[in-house]
Amino acid sequence: MIYLFRIISAENPDFYRDLVAGGTDTFLDFHSTLQKELGYDPTQLASFYITDANWGKETEITLIDMMQEPGVTSYSMDQVTLEEHISELNQRMLYLFDFFSERAFFIELIEMEDQISSRQTPFIGHRQGDAPPQLALDQLMDESPELEDTDPLDDPDNLNIDDLDPDMFDAGIPEDF
């Protein structure tokens, strides 16, 4: 199975990345590819959350074994493949990349094909815009009050992949996958 995920940020509406992954790729593979693409430090804490249609957290997939959030099932990124948790078109995930400021990317499965990629997966198929910085140290130190009120997780109903620029979707799955 080949998956095409759209990754967006509430902090930069011009930013997106399309990541192509195989069903047998682990969440650690996904994490590593995204970290490398964005120039982030892959040793920083991060977690994926499988969510419901309204971005409500259901299952956590952590970089390292951590204390579990109450009411959320938890797994380790290196132990779990995508096909174990991703099965439906439009399925959603959060990728918490700035653990201490609780900043995340919103990820949605936008295409899936029952085939095998001719390329090594995962890889970035399309890219646009600059990623937000990995760490928002000013938020931790309370130096930027205007950012305090802009937590995209506070109102996930305002973030809908259908509201994005339709030109971002014209590309589809990269031809060489």
Dihedral (CA of 52, 34, 7, 144) sign: positive
Distance of CA 33 to the CA centre of its chain: 11
Percent of the chain exceeding pLDDT 90 equals: 54
List all residues 6 or more positions away from 153 whose beta carbon is below 8 Å from its beta carbon.
55, 94, 102, 104
At residue 39, what is the residue type?
A: G
> Mean pLDDT across the stretch 53-73?
80
Percent of the chain exceeding pLDDT 70 equals: 72
Q: For 107-136, how does the pLDDT look when each residue is reduced to its tens digit (9 = 90+)?
A: 999 999 988 888 899 999 999 999 888 876
Query: What is the greatest pairwise CA distance in the chain?
Result: 49
Is 0.95 surpassed by the pTM of this model? no
Domains along the sequence of the chain with CATH? 2-167 (3.10.290.30)
Does residue 137 come out as left (phi exceeding 0), alpha (psi in the -120 to 50 range) or beta? alpha
Q: For 11-62, how does the pLDDT look when each residue is reduced to its tens digit (9 = 90+)?
A: 999 999 999 999 999 999 999 999 999 999 878 889 999 999 999 999 999 9
For the chain, what is the mean pLDDT? 82
DSSP, collapsed to helix, strand or coil, labels residue 68 as coil
- Residue 143 pLDDT exceeds 50: no
